[in-house]
Amino acid sequence: MGQHLSATIRSLSTCTGARKRGRVRLTDHDEESAPAAGTLMPSVPQANAPKPIYIAVLGLTGSGKTTFVNLVSESSLGVGRGLESCTSEVQASNRFNVGEREVVLIDTPGFGDTTLADSDIWKIIAASFVTSYRAGIHFTGVIYMQRISDVKVSGSSQQSFRMFQELCGEETYPNVLLVTSMWDTVTPEVGTSRDQELATKDIFFKPVLEKGAKMMRHDNTRESALGIIRNLVDKPRVTLRIQRELGGGVDIMQTSVYRQIRELMLELVAQRQKKLDTLMEELAEAERDGDEETQEELQEEVQSAKAELQDAQDKTSKLANEYQVELQRIEEMLRRRRSGDADV
């Protein structure tokens, strides 16, 4: 392969009908050119070509991230239906131009996913972002998408946004766009009211807006999407907090986002322990009353609650190690690419 080293991050989990991920080549001048669609690594640089702009797109599952990416970049990344996510890996769009600038959007798995826990989503995003950072990819902007159709700010939405804040860090907020989607599903009056609520409540967008982020609406047209991208293309490049921490050698357990997710996991453990304790009390009461039918039902519920509690405890204890495993998986894939293994 000469001086050109082949590298790709291919999806491990794809949707039925999703197109095959592309392959790219990597040289020592990683940052000079954009990745091929479906990857998060650069391709061969062109002589005197301007550096491409990388913009990450994050948000809840079902917020329209992948649809937005496909619309503006004319890509064909897999799109989930309803609240079932198709995106389970970080992947790049086709390259497209905004004015004279070449842009690549980085699509990510959604938080609040129906098939992957948020801790798994964080692991995938963190490992991919850190690996790309080490390869010379720096983001010019970050887009966070939120459905305006949501009747209220749910607990999962709040948790998602808290993790987003920890991933980015306050110093990157001037490069952040908070984009509301699904405007065609609500009346203008309802949408405007919810938009105002998101912007003014401390539990959601307000703290980020006060520190430099901007809020925009996406009406599901390509012109709307291009307008959103135009607000980022002239921004200076930034390093996300998670990239700076892990790329700089900070222990995974000392990172801001790890502490945030561990806190959420411990809350889940506590909730499941409380549920189990309540069931055990009800079972003891049924035994005292000699209610065999209720005892049988509660015994099944107790076993299920014990399994749920054990699962949460195991996931909490394995969180840091699973990140290291994911990072090693990506780095090993790249190492094998560099050694010329075409089957990776």
Question: How many domains is the chain built from?
Answer: 2
Does residue 309 lie in a domain region?
yes
Q: What pLDDT does residue 334 have? A: 63
User: 242 with 277, same domain?
Assistant: no
Q: What is the DSSP letter of 300?
A: H
On the CB side of 283, CA atoms within 13 Å amount to: 16
Check pLDDT > 50 for residue 150. yes
Which of 30, 44, 226 is CA-nearest to residue 138? 30
The share of the chain scoring above pLDDT 90, in percent, equals 44
User: 289 with 197, same domain?
Assistant: no
The residues near 226 (Cβ < 8 Å, ≥ 6 apart) are 72, 98
User: 207 with 288, same domain?
Assistant: no
User: 21 with 102, same domain?
Assistant: yes
CA 111 from centre of chain: 6
pTM of the shown model: 0.75
**Token pair 């992957």: residue:** 116
Does residue 158 lie in a domain region?
yes
Residue 305: phi, psi to the nearest 5?
-65, -40
Report the pLDDT averaged over residues 79-103.
75
Which of 221, 229, 275 is CA-nearest to residue 101? 229
Query: Which of 198, 229, 247 delimits the end of a domain?
Result: 247
- 35 in Cβ contact with 53 (< 8 Å): no
User: 132 with 186, same domain?
Assistant: yes
Q: What pLDDT does residue 21 have? A: 34
Q: Which domain holds residue 18?
A: 5-247
* Distance separating alpha carbons of residues 95 and 78, to the nearest angstrom: 17
CATH code at position 177: 3.40.50.300
Tokens of 56: 């990450």
Report the 10 Å Cβ neighbour count for 223: 9
Which of 260, 144, 146 is CA-nearest to residue 198? 146
Q: What is the pLDDT of residues 278-327, one digit of tens each?
A: 999 999 999 999 999 999 999 999 999 999 899 888 877 777 777 777 77
- 67 in Cβ contact with 79 (< 8 Å): yes
Query: Which of 195, 225, 247 delimits the end of a domain?
Result: 247
Confidence of residue 6 (pLDDT cuts 50, 70, 90): very low
Which helix or strand (DSSP H or E) is residue 323 part of? Answer: helix 292-338
Q: What pLDDT does residue 13 have? A: 34
Which of 80, 60, 61 is CA-nearest to residue 70? 80
* Distance separating alpha carbons of residues 304 and 136, to the nearest angstrom: 47
The residues near 117 (Cβ < 8 Å, ≥ 6 apart) are 315
Position with higher pLDDT, 30 vs 249: 249
Query: Which of 187, 218, 247 delimits the end of a domain?
Result: 247
For the CA atoms of the chain, what is the radius of gyration? 22
